[in-house]
Amino acid sequence: MALIMVLLAMALVVMLAGGMTKHQSVRIYKAGHYLAQSQGYSIALGAEAFAGQILFRDFEADREDNLFIDSPNEAWARYSAVLPLDNGVVEVQIDDLGGRINLNDLVNPQGQPDEVTRERLTRLIEVLGIGNLSVDAIIDWIDPNDETISAYGAEDGQYLLQNPAYRAANQPFTSVTELRLLEGISEDDYQLLSLHVAALPVSGAGINVNMAPQAVIQALHPELTEAQAESVVAQREDERFETVQDFLALPEFAGLGLKAEGLTLKTHFFEVASRITYDDRVVNLVSTIYRSPAGELSTVRRDTGQKNRITKERFAVSDN
């Protein structure tokens, strides 16, 4: 009887020890995973700072030349950087946001639609072949009132019928991803439009015509054809525009009366996409960076949910 009791006690101890070991192993794994993710995120912040230094050096070069221009032929715009790392690799890419149409330019500080931006975004949607999205629905998403701007607008009444229900933001876009919530937009339409628009925290920054995609160039005037927009982009690749007047003087714009309003050659907002492969784990970080007219850099927001953002040709950076 005593032997049986000893065996039962031993079995109980073994079971408890086994359970504790398994529980401890899970905790060790979680701790290790959290540590690796934290280290990866810290490295991503370093990659963001590295990109900031590139942008600052670009500003210093422009200041030395006394010509503040951002264009596709600059190294930061052409390549992504690959940096060596113990037990991993760092990939960094800087993307221009100045060549896109800023959604928050649609409504002026007085809460009224900006007609120039409204017309340009309407044409952009047409050029991209997006059929079900109305610019008025985008304006209603931003403007502070609860009344639709037209029969093509959308306010709380439409969105409260969704499942789950939600309301219009009635404030500026904080992220382009909010477009997914708008009345009439599909995921394919969003993916296409998101490459040509931005959600900048300020209005009036202007469209950098040196960096604008072909569709944005074509959207600047209703009489511009696809072939003419292609020609403008081809000329820009051969030689960047050094003044807005050089851009407007192109033969493709002759007789159109295209105005310089809302056009610029300088970019102030950039996206820095970082992918950190470290200890067999991957950490992604997309940061929106603002570069002031004085060259000062500040981070507007960070997003760890975006993947597959490194798309440009790789350029290896030595660790020496």
Give the pLDDT of residue 279: 78
Sign of the alpha-carbon dihedral angle for 35, 41, 47, 53: negative
Q: Which residue in this structure is represented by tokens 């500040």?
A: 298
Give the pLDDT of residue 78: 95
* Domain 2-97+267-316 class, CATH top level: alpha beta
Give the pLDDT of residue 87: 82
HSE of 175, CA atoms in CB hemisphere, 13 A: 11
HSE of 92, CA atoms in CB hemisphere, 13 A: 27
Q: What is the pLDDT of residues 292-310, one digit of tens each?
A: 999 999 999 999 989 999 9
Cα-to-chain-centroid distance, residue 14 = 55
Consecutive 10-residue runs of the chain (320 residues): their mean pLDDT?
68 63 59 70 94 96 94 95 90 97 95 94 96 94 93 92 92 96 92 97 94 97 96 94 96 93 96 91 94 96 92 81
Nearest of 252, 262, 218, 258 to residue 126 by alpha carbon? 218
Torsion of CA 46, 49, 50, 56, to 10 degrees: -170
Is residue 110 within 8 A of residue 251, CB to CB? The reply is no
Provide the residue ranges of all domains of the chain, joining segments of one domain with +: 2-97+267-316
Q: What is the pLDDT of residues 16-69, one digit of tens each?
A: 666 666 555 566 555 555 676 788 899 999 999 999 999 999 999 999 999 999
Alpha helices by DSSP H, listed for 146-299, are 156-159, 187-193, 214-218, 226-238, 244-248
Give the pLDDT of residue 320: 55
